[in-house]
A and B are shown apart, each in its own frame.
Chain A
Amino acid sequence: QLSLFRFTVKRLFSTSHSSVDSKEMKKFQLLAHKWWDEEGEYSALHSMNDLRVPFIRDTLLNMSTNYHLGNPLSGVKILDVGCGGGLLSEPLGRLGASVTGIDPLEDNIRTADQHKSFDPVLAKRIQYKSSSLEEIVEESMETFDVIVASEVVEHVADLEMFIKCCSQVLKPEGSLFITTINKTQLSYLLGIVVAEKIIGIVPEGTHEWEKFVPPEELQRLLESNGFSVKTVNGMLYNPLSGSWSWMESTSINYAVHAVKSGAQGQSGPADALSETESEERSATAGTTA
């Protein structure tokens, strides 16, 4: 019954009614085995872990009262969308989370599977699947505590559908973490001209400025689809030191933390007051639980 459904979904996929862009997939195909070279094409993503892992970890720890510093994310179910070679899934797994990593490119999944296989602890905690987000929605309704979509939304074909699917597989009060690139003159200059063409820290052709997402638009889409945006932080990459840092301005890279509203469903400006009330109530319920 499940395989029949999969077949139907795949047919939908092929008529491009999905968030996966096949042109994008082709770009990543060529570099599928380069993920784990820390000094290679993906070095900037490796060093981004120094920012995004503490961001995710500390945000989740701040929302919870029951954790152990030796295994901070124990018991948390995380979906890593567009996991690539597993660069972010592995640190989250090491912190104790149960991670499901999905990526539409099979070669990426193969690289990720192989890399985790040598570590018995990670091999158990992380499951990878070659799949798009839509394909897992039906079997994963309200399954995950956290969704992470890092450096992904600037590659999807239909952002609103992507966000809707995130909402469907996320538990109520669950967290969504997004990192992406703003659509500004500065991001064109630094993110594409300098990064790709001049100093080559990003493989050429990786990004298309047209698909960059301004934080205002992302926030609008999130809030009209049942999310409440809690944090927006700018990020800056220093190519000389190869490291990332937080910055006030979101004009180049930025990170977002949003929380799916509780059982009430979609929230609009009119529901804002009642939504904050119910959030407070369910927040205290969380702490006493």
Chain B
Amino acid sequence: TSAVMAVVCGRGLLAPLGGRLRPGPRAPLRTVAAAAAAAPLYDVVVSGGGMVGSAMAAVLGHDIHFHDKKIALLEAGPRKEYGHMPDSYSNRVSSISPGSATLLSSFGAWDHVCSLRLKPFRRMQVWDACSEAMIVFEKDDLDDMGYIVENDVIMSALTKQLDAVADRVEVFYGSRAVGYTWPLPSHSCDTSPWVQIELADGRSLQTKLLIGADGHNSVVRKEAEIKNIEHRYDQSAVVATLHLSEATDNNVAWQRFLPTGPIALLPLSDTASSLVWSTSHEHASELLAMDEESFVDSINSAFWSNVNHSDLIDTAGAMFRSAISLLKPSGMAVRQLPPSIAKVDPESRAMFPLGMGHATEYVQHRLALIGDAAHRVHPLAGQGVNLGFGDIACLAHHLSAAAFNGSDLGSLKHLLKFETERQRHNVSLIAAIDVLKRLYSTRLAPLVLLRTWGLQATNALPPVKVRI
């Protein structure tokens, strides 16, 4: 009888608690626990196979304490073959911090990235369109500050490393989750204690821990009813692959704050750079529509023109600079000139809307959010994917310790530790990026003065710069 019970209430257990009717017989939930429930049980399911979701699954798959565990990665899109890199660069690139590079090398993915292509940069020059103020970031030692890598290159490396642990990590391509059923926290009754996941094709999975890595419109976050603080910026980012007028070392990342938004040039090679231009929706559409020559002219003008300067600001800025040089003679760095652009790769222009978001909770019983599902930022600081990789490093550390302690992986106790650590790190950075975005979106003299002096002061103060 218990075997019959098991089969019968196996189907009953799969009925979502939301009361959605399913075809077929429904068994009462009061029956004895189904030891052999119909849906396969995983230790961890990662929902979302982008850079952050794939890296999360790969890190766990390579963790020694997860050697005997079952992990699944759900990706709605098809499996992409990254066999051969095209000669032209993709227009979606990311700035990878040294910390993220360390994470990627911890499970062998960074070696693949290096064997494909990437561009290290040594210096970052950030300056204002409304004044002469500028700040330069560079490391004293000859280390790289960061790397510009195409997103496709990262995905190729991650896919290779996932294939390497295919016995532990099962990747479900073309699988979108359409429903999640959450267990009751204080488990004292007969219902399944696991998270139930319903896929679009009707299959079901169960898991002890669900990790939501499904982007800023996260379905996992919505289904878990986690409040998200979000704000749509009146900006879109225009991306393109550009060719420089002349070959150069090209190991500097450039960013100029225009009143309409920051324009950035990220090095891809000695002759090519990637454009990320955040500007108003209308201007972005114009940029996409105009012919290639006008597009290139707009970019060059954005970097070189001084039309936004005013005498007041220039004088005030000059005064402040001489004051600083009295106090700190070495406080001013050399101003370099950005490269000029000759042409743009045809078909490489694209735009996407920008916004910010932050989930009020990163974790719940048997649930953790990472990457853009937890926090979404403006690209002006090049931090987006690095925050996600930071989430992965922290969560993997806590899960690995929990596994080695024989703990229930979905237990809030260690999930809360992850949340506290990451929120402490992320919230101030996300707030700072938002403030910077707003501060630099204006031509109003007082605010320009404020940020001019602020930028000059920050440039002269090593401790503050190091923290950034």
**In the complex, chain A residues 39-76 whose Cβ is within 8 Å of any chain B Cβ:** 39-40, 47, 49-50, 53-54, 57, 68-72
Q: Is A118 engaged at the interface, CB distance under 8 Å to the other chain?
A: yes
The yes or no answer to B240 lying at the interface (CB within 8 A) is no
Residue of A nearest to B36 (CB): A120
B193 at the interface (CB under 8 A from A): yes
CA distance A85 to B413 in the complex (A): 19
Stretch among A7-15, A92-100, A129-137 lining the B interface: A92-100
The interface residues of chain B, by DSSP majority, are classed as loop
The A-contacting residues of B in range 252-273, CB under 8 angstroms, are: none
Q: Which residues of A contact B404 (CB under 8 A)?
A: 57, 69, 72, 95
Listed from nearest, the 6 A-B pairs whose CB atoms lie closest are: A70-B67, A91-B406, A94-B406, A95-B406, A117-B33, A69-B64
Q: Is A206 an interface residue (CB 8 A)?
A: no
Which residue of chain B has its CB nearest to the CB of A70?
B67
Contacts of B193 in A (CB 8 A): 118
B37 / chain A contacts, CB cutoff of 8 Å: 118
A36, CB-defined interface residue at 8 Å: yes
**B418, chain A: closest CB distance, angstroms:** 16
Which listed residue, A39, A50, A123, touches B35 by the CB 8 Å rule? A123
Given A36-B187, A117-B33, also A70-B405 (CB < 8 A)? no
For B375-414 the 0/1 string (1 means CB < 8 A from A) is 0000000000000000000000000000111111001110
Query: A33 in the interface, Cβ–Cβ < 8 Å?
Result: yes
* Interface status of B192 (Cβ within 8 A of chain A): yes
CA distance A202 to B363 in the complex (A): 28
Asked if A245 lies at the interface with its beta carbon under 8 angstroms from chain B, I say no
In the bound complex, how far is the Cα of B405 from the Cα of A96, in angstroms?
A: 11
A277 within 8 A of partner (CB): no
A115 to B186, CA, bound (A): 12
Does A223 interact with chain B (Cβ within 8 Å)? no
B359 CB-CB contact with A under 8 Å: no
A39, B66: Cβ atoms closer than 8 Å: no
Interface residues of A in 18-52 (CB under 8 A from B): 33-34, 36-40, 47, 49-50
Query: Can you report 29 A-B residue pairs in the complex whose CB atoms are below 8 A from each other?
Result: A33-B188, A37-B187, A37-B188, A38-B186, A39-B186, A49-B405, A49-B406, A49-B407, A53-B406, A53-B407, A69-B65, A69-B67, A69-B404, A70-B64, A70-B67, A71-B68, A91-B405, A91-B406, A91-B407, A93-B406, A94-B406, A95-B406, A117-B33, A118-B33, A118-B192, A118-B193, A119-B41, A120-B36, A123-B35
Q: Determine the distance from Cα of A39 to Cα of B412 in the docked complex, in whole angstroms.
A: 11
A185: CB under 8 A from chain B?
A: no
- For the complex, what is the distance from the CA of A72 to the CA of B65, rounded to whole Å? 9
Given A70-B68, A118-B192, residue A53 in contact with residue B33 (CB < 8 A): no
- Distance of A94 Cα from B208 Cα, bound (Å): 13
A37–B188 CA distance with the chains assembled, in angstroms:
8
Nearest to A47 among chain B residues (CB) is B413
Tell me the complex Cα distance, A46–B119, Å.
Answer: 50
Give Cα distance in the complex from A71 to B193, angstroms: 24
Q: Is the CB of B187 within 8 A of A115?
A: yes
- Whether the pair B411, A38 counts as a contact (CB closer than 8 A) is yes
Known: A70-B67, A94-B406. 13 other contacts (CB 8 A): A36-B186, A37-B188, A53-B406, A53-B407, A57-B405, A69-B65, A72-B404, A90-B406, A91-B405, A94-B403, A118-B33, A119-B41, A120-B36
Q: What's the nearest-Cβ distance from chain B to residue A119, in Å?
A: 7
B180 interface hit (Cβ, 8 Å)? no
A120 to chain B: which residues have CB within 8 Å?
35-36, 41
Q: What residues on B are CB-neighbors of A71 within 8 Å? A: 67-68
> Counting CB contacts under 8 A, is A114 at the interface?
yes
Nearest CB in chain B to that of A114: its residue = B33
- Which residues of chain B come closer than 8 Å to A72, judged between CB atoms? 404
How many angstroms from the CA of A117 to the CA of B187 in the assembled complex? Answer: 13
* Minimum CB–CB distance for B50 against chain A, Å: 28
Query: Which B residues touch A57, using CB under 8 A?
Result: 404-406
Contact present for B405 and A50 (CB under 8 Å): yes
Do the beta carbons of A70 and B187 come within 8 Å of each other?
no
Does B89 interact with chain A (Cβ within 8 Å)? Answer: no
- Complex: A54 Cα to B401 Cα, angstroms: 10
Query: In the complex, A283 Cα to B413 Cα: how many Å?
Result: 38
A129, chain B: closest CB distance, angstroms: 18
Q: How far is the CB of A44 from chain B (nearest CB, A)?
A: 13
Residues on B with C-beta less than 8 A from A123 are 35
- Cα of A101 to Cα of B447 in the assembled complex, Å: 69
User: Which of A36, A50, A92 is the one whose CB lies under 8 Å from B188?
Assistant: A36
Complex CA distance for A34 and B186, rounded to whole angstroms: 9
